[in-house]
Homo-oligomer: A and B are copies of this chain.
């Protein structure tokens, strides 16, 4: 059955929900029941794209065996109710190994992380991404984050039919606006996705994005969808209202050069009764001040049943 990549690309015109990996506080082993609960929470709230092994899933804190198991189990638990976009990365060979595993267990597409190598050239990055994309049967989404790479890299990869979306995460809006003009989504069968969540989504959408990634969706999915709907319907007032309501949370995640990115989401989930456990190294639990900031925000949002 031939895949219609143009149609497939459109499935990313929504929120890409980065799923969490709860770890037990004592052993730091993966709490698989917690992962499942988190996936069901996302599905119950209407998530259409679930991303295991994203950055906020603490992909790089997992062993390769654990990353594979996370992909396999998430595919099984989602069971066709949403699209599963599996994060893959590391060396080209390792990324291909993870990608082949993902397609074997039924993931719908892979998200290729930014190369972790400290030394990367533009032409080398093209080779890296192209090798991975062409080695897999399922479609790929690029995670484009390193501001030192030229957008020429994307230009060279855009014509690959199996590249269906780019998750752009360089918050240089004029640069992003230019690249969406140089590589028009409809000519290339790909969807531009804002890779830096609710805080940046309004700006990216203004410049051509049709989807955004979210970690907040694990805590307060109603707000994430309110923003998506506002963006899709051009309801500027709603967009800015949600933007303002969620900004403090996103800024708290941005503290310590984004060191707080995951642990703030986990803390919030735990406080409202979901199961997120702790983070693994190199991220420690929040300090008391930041914990209280999370509590105050959850109170303001009305998500805490009991006042702490």
Across the interface, A283 reaches (CB within 8 A) one of B60, B120, B262, namely B120
Q: Are B63 and A124 in contact (CB under 8 A)?
A: no
How close is A105's CB to chain B, nearest CB, in angstroms? 20
Mostly helix, strand, loop or mixed at chain A's interface?
Answer: loop
- Kindly supply a per-residue 1/0 record for chain A positions 175-189, scoring 1 wherever the CB is within 8 Å of any chain B CB and 0 otherwise: 000000000000000
User: Is A289 interfacial (CB-CB < 8 Å)?
Assistant: no
User: Is A131 interfacial (CB-CB < 8 Å)?
Assistant: yes
Q: Are A92 and B61 in contact (CB under 8 A)?
A: yes
How close is A266's CB to chain B, nearest CB, in angstroms? 12
Contact partners of A61 in chain B: CB under 8 A? 91-92, 117
Assembly of this chain: how many copies? 2
- The verdict on A148 contacting B284 (CB below 8 Å), with A63-B94, A92-B61 known, is no
Instruction: State in angstroms the CA–CA spacing of A260 and B281 once bound together.
Output: 31
In the complex, which residues 107-158 of chain A have their Cβ closer than 8 Å to any Cβ of chain B? 115-128, 131, 148
Q: Are B259 and A119 in contact (CB under 8 A)?
A: yes
Q: Are A280 and B92 in contact (CB under 8 A)?
A: yes
Across the interface, A60 reaches (CB within 8 A) one of B117, B256, B284, namely B117
- The verdict on A92 contacting B124 (CB below 8 Å), with A119-B261, A262-B119 known, is no
Q: Are A256 and B117 in contact (CB under 8 A)?
A: no
Instruction: State in angstroms the CA–CA spacing of A124 and B284 once bound together.
Output: 4
Across the interface, A122 reaches (CB within 8 A) one of B116, B256, B261, B262, namely B256
Instruction: State in angstroms the CA–CA spacing of A120 and B280 once bound together.
Output: 10
- The verdict on A91 contacting B60 (CB below 8 Å), with A116-B116, A257-B148, A281-B131 known, is yes
Instruction: State in angstroms the CA–CA spacing of A60 and B60 once bound together.
Output: 13
Q: Are A124 and B91 in contact (CB under 8 A)?
A: no
User: Is A205 interfacial (CB-CB < 8 Å)?
Assistant: no
A sample of 10 more A-B contacts (CB under 8 A), given A119-B261, A127-B281, is A61-B91, A61-B117, A63-B97, A64-B64, A115-B281, A117-B282, A119-B260, A119-B262, A120-B283, A148-B256
**A residues lining the B interface (CB < 8 Å):** 55, 58, 60-64, 90-94, 97, 115-128, 131, 148, 256-263, 279-284
**Would you mind naming 28 contact pairs between A and B with Cβ atoms under 8 Å apart?**
A60-B117, A61-B91, A61-B117, A63-B91, A63-B97, A92-B281, A115-B281, A117-B282, A118-B261, A119-B259, A119-B260, A119-B261, A119-B262, A119-B283, A120-B257, A121-B256, A121-B259, A121-B282, A121-B283, A122-B256, A124-B282, A124-B283, A124-B284, A127-B281, A128-B282, A131-B281, A148-B257, A148-B259
